[in-house]
Amino acid sequence: MSFDSLFSSPNIIFWKVIFPPLFYGFHGWLATKMAVAALFRPYNAHFFPLTKVQIPLTPGIFPKRKTKLAQAVASTITETLLTPEDITHQVELLVTEENIYLAVNLFIESILREFRDIDKMHRLASDIADLSPAILQHLVNSLLGELEKNEVNKIANILDKIFDEVILPARISYEQASNISLRIMEELLTPQKVRLTLLSLLTPHNINSLEESINTHASTGYKLLAKIVGVKRVCYELKSFLESEPASAQELISDIIRRFAIKDQISVQIANFDLRNLPLQNIANLKTSFISFTESFLLGHKDDILQAVSRIETEARQTVQEAIIHFNPAAIPVAWVARAKKDFSGFAYSYLKREIGELVGRALPKLGMYTLISNKIDLFSAPQLEALVQRICRNELWLLEVLGGIIGLLLGFFQIVVNAYIP
């Protein structure tokens, strides 16, 4: 049969020229579409009627192999796409001074914002106040225990800083010095006590010692004057006067104290006294004595201190609560807040930059990325899995169906050629 005779009849033209490409094209498209559908459907296993024999290809390929698919995806992600080295590298890119400062700034601002909420402030104050007695008791007991066991002596370090920062630079005002000198005059330098002190000093032995000292150390002129005046005789007469006429002696002493302005002199000396003017060795010895005395006092009164701490629980709770309630974030100087943010962010940046590798290495095994991804995918239902793949590969799957139709169409044209040359 020749090629021209193929077109001798309209029916023959339809069945041998038009029908084969359409049939093969539809067949290719339908077969490909069924193959794509078989990836997902049916969702569940089906069985031959009245038997327990499972129909092949039920459920679909993806639903049937969902667990292995989940494991394969998880393995690919954790071993190839999202390795610990990749995660560490990405984290290192995020750990910059700017990002750390932004995080610290948001954190501090959120805290200050929370402090402006009165209700939250009262709840926070109540909670912390309830804990403060136990914290105080534990702190004092811990410090005293370390001091008693002669371990790392935090108390010595605290006392050292208190001495350097508080006691050493402390100065007494003239008003305070006047009050101190007044107490000294009232308690120590009263006329009666001065008279009794002089009487206790004017013993025969001390009088003889005074005369010997003058003869030994005074120049010739003063020695002659002492002989003319008679130091021993004057001392004995003064002693006799102090003993025989106490009232007159005390009036005399009181008048001398007033005329010499002893109180004012003591006030001036106290107000002008500065520990920092002492020799360095004296300051060091004074600091050592201060620390040693305080430690001995604390050890000697440990039980009393612990009992006192337990008795001030109510006061401690009230003090902490009032301090938190009356805390006003607006009263914090802006410069101080800015400096705190900068210092804290600098510390956090240097720490994270140094330790980020180890921190990520410790965190990843605890995160369980492989198990997490595998379980997440395994929990997908068959429709969810189909919808996920369709959302990702919708165009590709459609093109695959079209490609099946085109291949079938080409096979149809090939069949025309075959029909034309092979009877």
Looking at residue 222, its pLDDT comes to: 77
User: What are the distances in angstroms from CA 224 to CA 214, 216, 221?
Assistant: 10, 13, 5
244-267: average pLDDT: 90
**Per-residue pLDDT, 307:** 81
Instruction: With residue 183 as reference, give the H or E element that holds it.
Output: helix 174-187
285 close to 192: Cβ distance less than 8 angstroms? no
Mean of the pLDDT values across residues 48-56?
A: 79
Residue bearing the bigger pLDDT, 8 or 265: 265
Q: Work out the pLDDT band at 423, boundaries 50, 70, 90.
A: low
CA dihedral 24, 29, 35, 37 (to 10 degrees): -150
- Residue 8 above 80 pLDDT? no
Q: Please compute the mean of the pLDDT values over residues 19-32 and round it to a whole number.
A: 79
Residues ≥6 apart with Cβ < 8 Å to 126? 321
Is 60 exceeded by the pLDDT of residue 6? Answer: no
Work out the average pLDDT over 304-330: 73
d(CA 370, CA 2): 68
Q: pTM (2 decimals)?
A: 0.43
Structure tokens at 130: 């309830």
Give pLDDT, residue 329. Answer: 67
- Residue scoring higher pLDDT (179 or 352): 179
pLDDT band at 16 (very low <50, low <70, confident <90, very high): low
Q: What is the pLDDT of residue 2?
A: 47
According to DSSP, the residues that pair with 163 across neighbouring strands are: none
Q: Residue range 367-385: average pLDDT?
A: 76
- Residue 153's pLDDT band (boundaries 50, 70, 90)? low
% residues pLDDT > 70 (the chain): 90
* Residue 368 confidence (pLDDT) above 70: yes
Q: Give strand pairing partners of 47.
A: 54
Residue 151: pLDDT band (50, 70, 90) is low
Mean pLDDT on 305-322:
75
Angle, to 10 degrees, between the axis of helix 302-311 and the axis of helix 313-325? 60
What is each CA distance from 71 to 76, 98, 255, 390, in whole angstroms?
8, 39, 105, 20
If DSSP codes are grouped into helix, strand and coil, which group holds residue 47?
A: strand
Token pair 């001390």 in the structure block, residue? 206
The yes-or-no verdict on residue 3 having pLDDT over 50 is no
Question: CA 109, CA 112: separation in Å to the nearest integer?
Answer: 5
Residue ranges of E strands in 280-321: none
For the segment 89-96, the average pLDDT, to the nearest whole number, is 81
Residues, the chain, total?
Answer: 423
- CA distances 225 to 215, 222, 406, Å, are 11, 5, 143
63-72 pLDDT per residue, tens: 777 778 777 7
Tell me the pLDDT of the chain averaged across its residues: 79
Does residue 339 register a pLDDT over 60? yes
